[in-house]
Chains A and B, each alone.
Chain A
Amino acid sequence: MGRALAVFIWVMTILSVWMFVSGRWWFPVAISEHGPAYDRQFFLTIMVVGIAFAAAQVALGYAVWRFRDTGGGVRAVYTHGSNRLEMIWTVVTAIIFITLALLGQRVWFSLHMQPAPAGAAQVRVLAQQFQWNFQYAGADGKFGHTDPRKISDESLNYVGLDDTDPAAKDDVVVQTLVTEVNRPVELILMSRDVTHSFWVPQLRYKQDAVPGLEIPIHFTPNQKGRYEIACAELCGQQHYKMRSYMLILPADEYDSLMALPQAQFQARISELYKKYPVPTY
């Protein structure tokens, strides 16, 4: 029984490690400037985790095989432990874990502790059940005033744009996030009902949109294309298909799209959808 258990533990360890290194199941290619740094930190961490996991399992399997009771009345080693060993493994794990913890703050720091770079495009994001609304300021560069009392799904005013505000006249509200390749973008995340979470796997970015808060986040997309936006915080029965798209456009396409008013804006997005299909995996 002991040997069977040891063999099981070893085989399980090999198969588990295989799942991670097979390459079949891994992140989609990163499309943001901080993506590669994220991937490096993940790789470093998963290496440490993998080595510790395999070492512990192999040792457990070895102990189970080697120290099984083989009869003959031989007694076990009588010891209550070793302070020196306790000291060694405490200090060694503490050093490794704390180092990992400190390294694990770098990308976070660069994203969250610094304001969006100058020249970042701004988009206001208002999440609702079960839809993402993206508001663009239009030609005047100013966001129109919004008011929850003006919200009316029936008349398609999802964000409550106040039409008495002159700045609101050229604002565009669509369900697609449009960004320019290699240009930083700042999203102001909000929600008008329950908590949602903005999540684009390829971006390596996720942030909750919380009712009552305006949460600014920024990142720089660096690959053209169309990517899926998912909701990552349980928000109700249609949570599983609260899907939108993120378009990352070259400068000329981006500029010409941004100059369009609401109706044509929407139409152009449909054309761009055809030009940029969602990547298949």
Chain B
Amino acid sequence: MAEDDIPNEAHGTEEHAAEHGAAVHHHGPPTSFIRKYVFSIDHKVIGIQYLLLALFSVFLGMLMSIMMRMNMTWPGHSWWLLAKLFPTGAPGGVMSPEFYLSLVTMHGTMMVFFVLTTAPQGGFGNYFLPIQIGAEDMAFPVLNMLSFWVTFLGLAVLVSAIFAAGNGVIGPTGGWTAYPPLSAIGDVLNVPGQGMGMNLWIISIALFCGGSLLGALNFITTLLNLRTRGMSLMRMPLTCWAWFTTAVLALLAFPVLLAAGVLLFLDKNLGTSFFVPAGLSTGTTVIDHAGGSPIMWQHLFWFFGHPEVYIAILPGMGATSHILSTFARKPVFGYRAMVFALFAIGLLGFFVWGHHMFISGMSPYTGMAFSVLTLSIGVPSAIKTFNWLGTLWGGRIRFKTPMLFAIGFVSLFVAGGITGLVLGQTTLDLSMHDTYFVLAHFHLVMGVAAIFGMFAGMYFWFPKMFGRMMNETLGRIHFWPTIIGVYCIFIPMHVMGIVGMPRRYSQFYEIVNGQVQMIYNFNRPTVPLIHFVTWAAIITVSAQVIFIFNFFWSMFKGQKATDNPWEATTLEWTTATPPPHDNFGGRVPTVYRGAYEFSVPGAPDDFVMQTTPDETEANIVTTAGTHAVQGKGDGHNGHG
């Protein structure tokens, strides 16, 4: 094991280091505006581009969720603004069911792909993975630029669906899972949005897959090949492990979605029948397809879709581990277990996709196997939670805004993740599948928890990225309504699901002469909760304005940041703020210890930088050309 831990650079001689430098630093700082800020090949600029793309998408996605909430809470109400903006989709300001469904689809697609997949990995990962491992850039800077711009194009195509979908909708209406036959022959069945809107959706997702693949290749290569001297694998920050695992998942998952998307496009436009069986009818004529299987799409989609959940959450886990340790002033508890748990989650994540399909008509035997595997994935998730608690235990916690959000992440991850024990059981899915219980589960765990990971990361790394601190008071004012709000939104959705409330319904009651008239009587107990959740959502979304203000205000007016404002240990805090074009100003950092050496007894400060030489280790590295990885803080668990 120790042998595997040694990166090539660790054997490094000066000559090797120079060669290494030359190989990577093949682009000088650009001078023109376009090369510097638009078509940049600097991973730091690209990281910020990804973050801005996600910021745009997340606000669009949130706006859509508020529109959905308002429609289901006050169905039939005429909204003045809606009437002005969407005269066909909302005639007289009253939202049509198909308009609602296009919101469902666009909200899901925006959030899952262009927020949860871009910001944590493409954004923070792009910016900080190279710096944290001591590299000057990504392994393939041009590929990196391409991956962003292909993703951007994907977003542009998706946004264009808002205008081009037609039929008074703002996108396809089949949900972000795009199940055929609804997606493949929806237009034949006169379902609005399933014509041009659906085509644009497929193209957008295909582009996104391409962009993500390029990014994943880049991350993996960079992490494996460009670690600086002394940065053995087990000395890496857990953020790097998380980004690496995520990249492996993306590399294996996105091609499957890409292939499925191509097949769906062929079915839809060129008359093939991969997903459409024979003998379907419009009610007047038989539809001209034969031989396909709708369930095959579900297999392909969820083979991607389940790892995608981990693509969204793993970087948040990494950031949380990193931030908890930094602000508890304590090494990560069970570093090695944390790495193995990440890998276990990633690996098991590929064997559980069938739990989305228990009631799909898939063989019930298969369902049972998937069920047991699904609950097994709770074990590494629990390991992570225990170790986060272990990291806090005995710490000296500093409650800065990044730490508040990181603790919020742990709380939300537990709250959202643990209901997987319910949904992972075949039996319980007989009632819970496709209810608000599912909505509550995945929004808490992969939506809100992942977003908290991003907020934590943003408050934490903002000073490094922009050279100024985010305002601490505003950060706290942002934190409180956000965490209270998300719990008020999503905890009630669990019990709504137990009552039986189905997902993706544009409304649950009509208002006739001021009286609530249920469409389904069994939903009646949920009516007060529907109102409560909507108000909670409106307040929570409004509170995000505080973040936006803080973000842009601090960028220009914030307090100037020092190089290491949080007294953290990893390499990004050893360089200038913001880092120079080549990250370390021509220097090649040498790493002497693990990433989380806080409160080391006898050390002058309560943190020891990874680059702080240790008398004996430094000698060994420079003289013998080998190294001493077995020192303190290499992630080996201590004694019991």
Contact = CB atoms under 8 A, between A and B. Distances in A.
Interface of A: 1-2, 5, 8-9, 12, 15-16, 19-20, 24-28, 38, 41-42, 45-46, 48-49, 52-53, 56-57, 59-60, 63-64, 67-70, 74-86, 89-90, 93-94, 97-98, 100-102, 104-109, 111-113, 128-129, 148-149, 151-154, 158, 160, 192-195, 197, 199, 201-202, 204-208, 210-213, 215, 228, 230-241, 243, 278-281
9 residue pairs, one from A and one from B, having the closest CB atoms = A212-B277, A104-B425, A77-B394, A201-B500, A84-B640, A81-B334, A25-B495, A112-B364, A240-B505
Given A79-B331, A237-B173, 13 more contacts: A48-B421, A67-B392, A81-B390, A86-B334, A90-B379, A94-B379, A101-B374, A108-B425, A108-B427, A152-B284, A210-B360, A234-B101, A237-B192
Contact of B519 (A8, A148, A243): A243
A25 B491 CA distance: 12
A78 B601 contact: yes
Contacts of A2: 397, 399
B191 interface: yes
Contacts of A104: 371, 375, 424-428
A79 B186 contact: no
B443 interface: no
Contact of B280 (A49, A148, A152): A148
A49 B179 contact: no
Interface in B374-432: 374-376, 378-379, 382-383, 385-387, 389-390, 392-399, 404, 407, 410-411, 414-415, 418-419, 421-422, 424-431
Given A27-B500, A86-B337, A112-B364, A41 B175 contact: no
B44 interface: no
Contacts of B76: none
A97 B182 CA distance: 36
A21 B608 CA distance: 49
Contacts of A236: 101, 173, 182, 186, 189, 191
A58 to B, nearest CB: 11
Given A79-B394, A101-B372, A232-B502, A60 B410 contact: yes
A81 B337 contact: yes
Nearest to A25: B495
Contacts of A243: 519-520
B279 interface: yes
Given A27-B499, A28-B500, A45 B399 contact: no
Interface in B588-640: 598-601, 606, 633, 635-640
Interface stretch (B151-159, B248-256, B287-295, B544-552): B287-295
27 contacts: A38-B430, A41-B425, A42-B422, A45-B425, A53-B414, A60-B410, A64-B407, A70-B396, A75-B396, A76-B330, A76-B606, A94-B379, A102-B372, A105-B371, A108-B426, A129-B189, A148-B281, A151-B284, A158-B283, A193-B280, A195-B179, A195-B181, A206-B429, A234-B175, A236-B173, A237-B173, A280-B524
Contacts of A1: 399, 404, 476
B286 interface: yes
Contacts of B368: 105, 108-109
B182 A234 contact: yes
Interface in B184-213: 185-186, 189, 191-192
A16 B491 CA distance: 6
B361 interface: yes
B525 interface: yes
B382 A89 contact: yes
Contact of B279 (A16, A59, A205, A212): A212
Contacts of B293: 212
A19 B281 contact: no
B496 A105 contact: no
A201 B376 CA distance: 28
Contacts of B505: 239-240
B96 interface: yes
B334 A206 contact: no
A131 to B, nearest CB: 10
B421 A97 contact: yes
B453 interface: no
A279 B387 contact: no
A206 B418 contact: no
**Main SS class of interface, A:** mixed
B404 A5 contact: yes
A90 B182 CA distance: 43
A56 B385 contact: yes
Contacts of A111: 430
Interface residues of B, number: 129
A149 B280 CA distance: 9
A69 B398 contact: yes
B266 interface: no
Chain A CB within 10 Å, residue with most, of B192, B332, B337, B635:
B337
B283 A151 contact: yes
A273 B526 CA distance: 25
Nearest to A6: B407
A194 B520 CA distance: 22
B549 to A, nearest CB: 21
B329 interface: yes
A255 to B, nearest CB: 28
B483 interface: yes
A67 to B, nearest CB: 5
Given A5-B399, A49-B419, A281-B524, A64 B508 contact: no
A125 B639 CA distance: 63
Contacts of B361: 207-208, 210, 213, 215
Contacts of A41: 425, 427-428
Interface in B252-285: 276-284
A82 B421 contact: no
B86 interface: no
Contact of A240 (B189, B519, B606): B519
Contact of A68 (B334, B382, B397, B492): B397
Contacts of B70: none
Contacts of B431: 27, 38, 42, 201, 204-206
B143 interface: no
A82 B335 CA distance: 10
Interface in B327-377: 328-337, 359-361, 364-365, 367-368, 371-372, 374-376
Nearest to A198: B359
A240 B507 contact: yes
Contact of B434 (A42, A79, A97, A206): A206
Contacts of B179: 194-195, 233-234
Contacts of B519: 240-241, 243
A82 B394 CA distance: 14
Interface in B507-522: 507-508, 519-522
B498 interface: yes
Given A94-B376, A105-B368, A199-B502, A192 B281 contact: yes
Given A80-B333, A236-B186, A25 B498 contact: yes
A279 B521 contact: yes
Given A86-B334, A236-B186, A280-B524, A63 B379 contact: no
A76 B328 contact: yes
Nearest to A69: B396
Contacts of B280: 148, 192-193, 211-212
Given A15-B491, A82-B640, A234-B179, A153 B283 contact: yes
